[in-house]
Structure 1
Amino acid sequence: MIARITLSSVTLPLKQAISDAKVLTGRQRPMTEVAFLFAEVRTTDGLDGLGFGYSKRAGGRAQYAHAAEVAHELIGEDPNDIGRLWTKLAWAGASVGRSGAATQAIAAIDVALWDLKAKRAGLPLAKLLGAYRDSVRCYDTSGGFLHEPVERVLDNAEAARAAGIGGVKIKVGHPSPAVDLARVRAVRDRLGDDVPLMVDANQQWDRPVATRVGRALEEFDLTWIEEPLDADDVDGHAALARSLDTPIASGEMLTSVAEHVRLLDAVDVIQPDAPRIGGITQFQRLAALAEHHHLTLAPHFAMEIHVHLAAAYPHEPWVEHFDWLHPLFNERLDIRDGRIHLSGRPGLGVTLSEQARAWTVAHTVIQKGPE
């Protein structure tokens, strides 16, 4: 039975301020930190599960507060009944909805329950879910942001390849499409034609610009164009996918399975984020739908979670590599030959570092009786 749930709000400072197209268009400020919600679930027989979610810029405190308000519902419950417990938590906070911060708060606890279940079985999470492979293709994003001059982007791309990462994604959506095209051309020339290359506009184009720039990008044989349009513009994504040879990818900003369902017939690559849509329980529901639509799966961010979920997807997926989270965990993922290889460690295979504990800004222990 579940005896205790410990929730921690952790603020991860970034080494430098990060800017993508949303900053250049004036819609957001540069990002300087990421807020994480960690959930640690302990059972009466002394087993522990670890899960996490996150928020960029705003929302971290809301996630933490909501989790602290509903987590007591699980004390005394059987941690193996993960689907039922997800529903119980969702109903506990139903008045604030079934997407956004409410379900993102549940996600951290849900991931912890899956980590716990895999540890109880003595298996990596991917094996518990039913892995199709022991490694997953990966691509780097952290070196391709728009605040970086193109020379640094080129150096970062080469460093990523040298570190064993398979593909490279760079940000586009600059106010001048000519700048985007010049940066893409420079990266393609440096990497050669055989290296998978993706671009990400972060929803900053309208339909005419996305069409014009998308056609200009065709010559670079991109693996995909990501978020060319507003995440809710399903019809626009579908029209763009029909008009271009380059695959269209989207989904990371959606915060429920229901929101993704409308996108399944509009894109070629679906990019759900388990912490954003409510955890592994919801991700598995969406993955089944995506497989039915024969979509490529490329989960967003949180590679420590997503490598397991991608390994359990029937079609060959991608996982996004970010080095931002390295200080939070004691372990590192095994990256070589263009792929992330599963470790033999049970569960997610990661434990919280002392640095993560030091960055904790709020902490709650939920259990029966005194702490």
Structure 2
Amino acid sequence: MNASASPALAADDRIAWLRVSSCYLPLATPISDAKVLTGRQKPMTEVAMLFVEVQTEQGAEGLGFSYSKRAGGPGQFAHAREIAPALLGEDPSDIGKLWDKLCWAGASVGRSGLSTQAIGAFDVALWDLKARRAGLPLAKLLGAHRDSVRCYNTSGGFLHTPLEQLLVNAAASVERGIGGIKLKVGQPDRALDIRRVEAVRKHLGDGVPIMVDANQQWDRPTAQRMCRIFESFDLVWIEEPLDAYDHEGHAALAAAFDTPIATGEMLTSAAEHGDLIRHRAADYLMPDAPRVGGITPFLKVAAQADHAGLMLAPHFAMELHVHLAAAYPREPWVEHFDWLEPLFNERLEIARGRMRVPKRPGLGISLSEQARAWTRESAEVGQRT
């Protein structure tokens, strides 16, 4: 169905068909952050993607996704497959109502975590459909404040990367037009963290924005010491210095140091983010739309964050978050990861430190043949038109 179709027809449209798919994206190199070096997790070798495709009786289509790292992919797919029939026959424009319906369809397993991450793929697909039907990029449908957003690279700064290669990766990202560089820290030997950050700052110079991410691996005394040391490197932020749910500890660091504190990526509901915001536990809030349950709850988080005067830096999934960040009133950052690029036919444009919002309708992405080839399971409900 094209964007010029009769509004009356669209108003009468109903969901006729859905496909949920479990796709596993292999990573070329096993990925290690501080959680690996502290023995809490194994290196990451793949990302489990949950895709939802939706089509209406009149032929309008939408694509959504969620994901899981290291574990949880089969559980997300199983939950999505169970709740998918709840959407058949519904008006796809009633996104808030449908989010609640999906939540209640699986309410016995809770309103956060794996269950809402499964809902997130449906929610994103419905927003994608709505924007496509309007003939608008998602950012424009939501109400964009800008046509591009600042972006920073993470994928070149993991702890498995030797220092010499880290310097090469950082310089290459800047040369490519990416605006900032994030380095993983949180190693058992804190001197190694300091040496790596110091080397990158010296290599890139004072004008390049640098962030660090401890992935929740410091205790409070260590975080105090490391935040104090890192003050001299003029960092954009220090990310997850403490456990994701230690709101009081993060708030104390945010109050004590000039360098902003960033956290929020591990939270899995708008309610959890609300608690973090009330504690003033972050200067930069880092919600992840698939993790909180999709765009609908993400917008609730963003509204709370803006009311509190917080800066925004959504976690991962740049193909989605470039739109959501563009619709945030305060100038945000978006995390550049090239990991997901093989899954889609389109690419995001990056230049002069910024990521451009696609001009294509909806999210502006479509599944590649490679994504189909990496799909291990799929299930359909309803009848495709």
| TM-score interval (norm. to shorter) | over 0.9
Whether 1:235 and 2:229 are equivalent positions in the alignment is no
Give me the whole-angstrom Cα distance separating, in 1, the residues matched to 2:380 and 2:41: 34
Whether 1:259 and 2:275 are equivalent positions in the alignment is no
Give me the whole-angstrom Cα distance separating, in 2, the residues matched to 1:361 and 1:100: 23
AA aligned to 1:244 is: F
Which secondary structure state, in structure 2, belongs to the residue aligned with residue 142 of structure 1?
Answer: coil
1:111-160 alpha-carbon deviations (Å, 9 max, x no partner): 00000000000000000000000000000000000000111111111111
1:269-317 alpha-carbon deviations (Å, 9 max, x no partner): 0000000000000000110000001111000000000000000000000
Tell me which of 18, 21, 24 is aligned to 2:34: 21
TM (norm. structure 2) is: 0.95
Alpha-carbon distance, 1:337 to partner: 0.7
Aligned to 1:207: 220
Alpha-carbon distance, 1:325 to partner: 0.5
Which secondary structure state, in structure 1, belongs to the residue aligned with residue 276 of structure 2?
Answer: coil
Alpha-carbon distance, 1:166 to partner: 0.2
Aligned to 1:284: 299
Which secondary structure state, in structure 2, belongs to the residue aligned with residue 159 of structure 1?
Answer: helix
AA aligned to 1:67 is: A
AA aligned to 1:302 is: A
Tell me which of 291, 295, 301 is aligned to 2:310: 295
Which secondary structure state, in structure 1, belongs to the residue aligned with residue 297 of structure 2?
Answer: helix
Aligned to 2:111: 98
Aligned to 1:310: 325
Alpha-carbon distance, 1:242 to partner: 1.1
Aligned to 1:192: 205
Give me the whole-angstrom Cα distance separating, in 2, the residues matched to 1:162 and 1:347: 30
Which secondary structure state, in structure 1, belongs to the residue aligned with residue 203 of structure 2?
Answer: helix
Matched ranges for 1:26-37 at <5 A? 26-37=39-50
Aligned to 2:145: 132
Alpha-carbon distance, 1:164 to partner: 0.8
Alpha-carbon distance, 1:47 to partner: 1.3
Whether 1:64 and 2:77 are equivalent positions in the alignment is yes
Whether 1:175 and 2:184 are equivalent positions in the alignment is no
Aligned to 2:52: 39
Alpha-carbon distance, 1:205 to partner: 0.1
Which secondary structure state, in structure 1, belongs to the residue aligned with residue 381 of structure 2?
Answer: strand
Give me the whole-angstrom Cα distance separating, in 2, the residues matched to 1:224 and 1:60: 31
AA aligned to 2:341 is: H
Unaligned runs of 5+ in 2: 1-13
Aligned to 1:113: 126
1:199-253 alpha-carbon deviations (Å, 9 max, x no partner): 0000000000000011001100000000000000000000111111100000000
1:59-108 alpha-carbon deviations (Å, 9 max, x no partner): 01111100100010000100000000000000111100000010000000
Which secondary structure state, in structure 2, belongs to the residue aligned with residue 262 of structure 1?
Answer: helix
Whether 1:345 and 2:360 are equivalent positions in the alignment is yes
Alpha-carbon distance, 1:263 to partner: 1.1
Aligned to 2:92: 79
Give me the whole-angstrom Cα distance separating, in 2, the residues matched to 1:29 and 1:266: 29
Aligned to 2:349: 334
Which secondary structure state, in structure 1, belongs to the residue aligned with residue 367 of structure 2?
Answer: coil
Query: Runs of 4 or more off by more than 3 Å in structure 1?
Result: none
Alpha-carbon distance, 1:194 to partner: 1.0
Give me the whole-angstrom Cα distance separating, in 2, the residues matched to 1:270 and 1:150: 29
Aligned to 1:224: 237
AA aligned to 1:241 is: A
Alpha-carbon distance, 1:162 to partner: 1.0
- Identity of aligned pairs, percent? 68
Give me the whole-angstrom Cα distance separating, in 1, the residues matched to 2:282 and 2:337: 24
RMSD: 0.9
Which secondary structure state, in structure 2, belongs to the residue aligned with residue 281 of structure 1?
Answer: helix
1:308-333 alpha-carbon deviations (Å, 9 max, x no partner): 00000000000000010010000000
Unaligned runs of 5+ in 1: none
Aligned to 2:179: 166
Which secondary structure state, in structure 1, belongs to the residue aligned with residue 81 of structure 2?
Answer: helix
TM (norm. structure 1) is: 0.99
Q: How many aligned positions are there?
A: 370
Give me the whole-angstrom Cα distance separating, in 1, the residues matched to 2:211 and 2:275: 23
1:20-73 alpha-carbon deviations (Å, 9 max, x no partner): 000000000000000000000001111110000000000011111001000100
